[in-house]
Amino acid sequence: MTKPKTMLPGHLMITLLVITLLGAAGNGGPAPAADPMPSWHDTTAKQAVLAFVERVSTPGSPDFVPVAERIAVFDNDGTLWPENPVPFQAAFLLDELKRMAPEHPEWSDNPALAAALAGDVTAVRQAGPEALAELLAATHVGMTADEFNRRVRTWLDTARHPRFARRYHDLAYQPMLELLSHLRERGFSTWIVSGGGADFMRVWAEDVYGIPPSQVIGSYSKLRYEMRNGTPMLIKEAGIELIDDKAGKPVGIHRFIGRRPIACFGNSDGDLEMLEYTTINHTPSLGLIVHHTDGDREYSYDAHPQSTGRLVTALEDADARGWIVVDMARDWKTVFRPEP
């Protein structure tokens, strides 16, 4: 049954290989590797990350970790892309509410929905992931999973960030994209562990971050399977099943990965527990916090009362825990990925 693969004749293949190898090794040794993270300044943060990756992925190193255990987890909002002026999923939610409002006059009786429809960004920002997920569920209960995917895709193609006037998924952080690639080249599996909605992130995470849907862990609501007119359907239902934030993050990690990560990247107190779970009494391991210090190029916040992504406890703990703190203004040459 097996169709033989097309092969070059043996001698031609060898000639090609010899040429290739002479090019690579003929000058006395391997060429120096290109910098895998060129958007990072050569500061201690970058050096510590590269040294860790080298230690755990070099055979014979005392800290060598087998590929199956090279698991790296990343928060999303504020770690891989911005979370201001509101988390991007909240922007999607607001746009969806406005789009659907004409069919739902009863929404004006609900204070949270009314505030959102009136564009009260502060109320939305302070609502937290649970309230946001509830709002999102309210707008999407009864919708099929496929239809939800289409809505997210349409929104991504049309909506623009209010300050940067670019599509939201064009605002991924270039230094973090380089870090993701470098980890994967060194045998890591890379996972998102975010308070955001899993179904929302899965629509674009593969294109933007190279992370497939099965490696996107997020908050999620109930789902129902049914056959409708002879076609299998998954229908979104009311009720949150996992808030993948704070102490929910180690739970999500166990549920979906089933192993402790050895590297964890976050930016807020919502990531404190997964930083702990990854690094405490667990060697070798790496914890890293992206500190938003760059109001000129992005945003500057940590304990600012009008921002999500509050970073107080994790920043206090960082030194004692050995977590690397990235200072965006100092450590990153560029912030956003280039225009496509």
Contacts with its own copies by CB under 8 A lie at 1-5, 7, 9-10, 13-14, 17-18, 21-22, 24-26, 29-30, 32-33, 47, 50-51, 54, 58, 68, 145, 189, 198-199, 202, 206, 212-214, 216, 220, 223-227, 230-232, 234, 241, 247-251, 254-259, 273, 276-277, 280-281
Question: At its nearest, how many Å lie between its own copies and the CB of residue 127?
Answer: 23
Instruction: State the minimum distance, in angstroms, from the CB of residue 54 to its own copies.
Output: 6
Shortest CB 115 distance to its own copies, Å: 31
Choose between 244 and 302: whose C-beta lies nearer to its own copies: 244
What does 80-107 look like in DSSP terms, one character per residue? Answer: TB---SS-HHHHHHHHHHHHHGGG-GGG
Which CB atom, from 202 or from 292, has the smaller least distance to its own copies? 202
- Our CB check for its own copies shows the closer of 86 and 183 to be 183
- Coil, strand, or helix at residue 297? coil
Q: Radius of gyration of the chain from Cα atoms?
A: 23
Locus of tokens 């709002």: 135
Q: Closer CB to its own copies, residue 162 or residue 213?
A: 213
In the complex, least distance from residue 32 CB atom to its own copies, rounded to whole angstroms = 8
Q: At what angle do helices 44-57 and 174-185 cross, to 10 degrees?
A: 20
Nearer to its own copies, 190 or 293 (CB): 190
Nearest residue (CB) to its own copies, 188 versus 301: 188
Coil, helix or strand at residue 59: coil
Least distance to its own copies from the beta carbon of 243, Å?
12
Alpha carbon distances (Å) from 251 to 28, 275, 278: 50, 13, 12
Residue 78, sorted as left (phi over 0), alpha (psi -120 to 50) or beta, turns out to be left
Q: Which residue has the tokens 């910098």?
A: 35
Short-list 53, 44, 45, CA closest to 72: 53
Quote the least distance from Cβ 299 to its own copies, whole Å: 29
CA distances, 60 to each of 30, 44, 184, 220 (Å): 19, 25, 20, 41
